[in-house]
Amino acid sequence: MKLTIAAVGRMKSGPERELAERYLARLKKTGGAVALDYAGLVELPEGRGGTADERKRDEAARLAAAVGESAVVIALDERGKTLSSEEFASDLAGRRDAGARDLALLIGGPDGLADSLRQRADLTLSFGRMTLPHQLVRVVLAEQLYRAVTILSGHPYHRA
């Protein structure tokens, strides 16, 4: 199953970007062993002007176009479901085993995700009830994807 991250906004240079890239490189290197292939990151510019709802609608249309109609969608949102690392790994494996070919993980802009995208999502996932900066969400997502691969492959990185 191909994994794509689609995010509104660009990651600035710095230690957060370097850390996210390090985890994504590990994911790319090891994911194939468990049929979770990292296909890449799509960065979309933030919506400009208008109201927050207008920006979210614009960003939602661009995110949906970037991932296509057939992809399984996991939307990251603070109102979503919280999963343990093991549960997240199991969820990914279950979708892979059910025959999903493409899975897209969506990160909204500063205003969040439009209701239409959350409703379209096959899973709305939260990393907790706290609001996290965009750059940290990317780091946490990259690390959890890598951790999921290590859990599924029995690698000792994950110690629970």
* Residue 146, amino acid: Y
Per-domain boundaries in the chain: 2-153
Tokens 């907790």 found at: 128
Binding site feature residues for S-adenosyl-L-methionine: 76, 108, 127-132
Tokens 């994504």 found at: 24
How many other CB atoms sit within 10 Å of the CB of residue 106? 29
Residues 42-60, mean pLDDT to the nearest whole number = 92
Positive/negative CA dihedral, 155, 156, 158, 160:
positive
Residues 72-109 have pLDDT tens digits of 999 999 999 999 999 999 999 999 999 999 999 999 99
Residues 102-117 have pLDDT tens digits of 999 999 999 999 999 9
The residues with which 126 forms a beta bridge, in sequence order, are 82
pLDDT at 160 over 80: no
Residues 5-49 have pLDDT tens digits of 999 999 999 999 999 999 999 999 999 999 999 999 999 999 888
Give the CATH number of domain 2-153; options: 3.50.50.60, 1.10.3720.10, 3.40.1280.10, 3.90.1580.10: 3.40.1280.10
Binding site feature residues: 76, 108, 127-132
In this predicted structure, what is the pLDDT of residue 115? 95
In this predicted structure, what is the pLDDT of residue 49? 83
Residues 123-152, mean pLDDT to the nearest whole number = 96
